[in-house]
A = this chain, B = another copy of it.
Amino acid sequence: MKVSAQNLHAFCVEALIQVGVSQADARTTADVLVTTDTWGTFTHGTKALRAYVRRLRGGGLRKNGRPKVVSEGPAWALVDGDSSLGMVSSEFAMQTALAKAAAVGIAFVGLRNNCHYGAAGYYASMAIEKDMIGISMANDIPTVNAPGARGSVLGSNPFGFAAPAGKEKPILLDMATSTVAGGKVFAAAALGKTIPGDWLLDANAKPTTDPTLFSHAGSLTPLGGYKGYGIAFLIEVLSAILTGAAIRWQVSSWTFSDPSKPTGHGAAFIALHIASFMPVEQFKERIDRAIREIHAAEKADGAGRIYLPGEMEWERREKALVEGIDLPEDVSASLRGLAEDLNLDLNRILR
């Protein structure tokens, strides 16, 4: 299904307003989800809205929830998300980090009572237009194995990083700390496909190519073994242990758990104010030079280009904003389901 970003945004806003979310919060949420779809990161975009709406109707996500700073210093804050939409509380937390970093050079903001926040890269990318460097991370219910374990030990705890460039495209890294994000396994299962043998372990901790085992009887492999496991633990520390959020199995699934209960996710956001360290133009010249050097490096046989982190996503976005977003079938199906849930006319909105 091909839709314009504008129409998809309008549909998301209408759906959220219908279940009682304010216009402002609906727009924030739609900004996050539609931007994510324009990047081609369809596992974390509007596909998830149906589940968020179910939780809003159930009460586990509070439609009038208001994230607020509960403690702070000049360079840090702890935010309670008040179980509002993950996009609303996370956008607030990152804005808090950006404002503090603009004043004192760097800031760390921890967030508790969050929910699933979508694509980690979105919040990191908020730093770009302010000439700052952004980092974002979040914990989740365990779906990832650790060396020596049977079953899941930590979440696929995502990580995002963004930095502005000058004439080149900004850097944007958006990754799970599993070999692949669970959303990719769900997407393969929905399409009836098998998956590569190094993505998933079965209930006996043996490799499997069957995506339907996830997540009830399968665990994602950690990125590079102990390294991805270690980074996931770092994220558990900064986003949950340090913030007072739910830890590991205390987190509830945003898709499967009782929609009347909050999920308890945590997150953490870091902003660095470039102008504190060097003139912004100098930074941009330096990063542009590094990007151009990598573009000009020798290519492997059969490789046309060497991409920088985020370059594919920005190019997909440029194309999507002109030609429309080509939604995969699992995303369209989820949006159709959402429209049915709410008696909205998807065709009218997406024409």
**B-contacting residues of A (Cβ < 8 Å)?**
71, 73-76, 78, 104-108, 110, 133, 146-151, 153-154, 161, 163, 171, 173, 175, 179, 204-205, 223-224, 226-231, 233-234, 236-238, 241-244, 247-249, 272, 274, 276-278, 283, 286-287, 289-290, 293-294, 297-301, 303-309
Contact = CB atoms under 8 A, between A and B. Distances in A.
B290 A247 contact: yes
Q: Which residue of A146, A237, A287 has the most chain B CB atoms within 10 A of its CB atom?
A: A237
Contact of A173 (B173, B233, B300, B309): B233
A150 to B, nearest CB: 4
B171 A233 contact: yes
Contacts of A307: 147-148, 226
A244 B287 CA distance: 11
Contacts of A224: 179, 223-224, 228
A233 B304 CA distance: 21
Main secondary structure of the interface of A (DSSP, over half): mixed
* 3 tightest Cβ-Cβ pairs between the two chains A and B: A148-B303, A173-B230, A205-B300
Contact of A241 (B147, B231, B283): B283
A237 B133 contact: yes
B234 A300 contact: no
A161 B146 CA distance: 18
B179 A289 contact: no
Contacts of A226: 175, 307, 309
24 contacts: A71-B277, A73-B104, A73-B105, A74-B75, A75-B75, A75-B106, A76-B106, A106-B106, A106-B108, A147-B303, A148-B303, A149-B294, A150-B303, A151-B297, A151-B298, A171-B233, A171-B234, A171-B237, A179-B224, A205-B300, A224-B228, A233-B309, A241-B283, A249-B293
A78 B105 CA distance: 11
A308 B136 CA distance: 23
Contacts of A276: 73, 76
A47 to B, nearest CB: 22
Contacts of A229: 309
A173 B305 contact: no
A290 B242 contact: no
A294 B146 contact: yes
B161 A230 contact: yes
Nearest to A290: B247
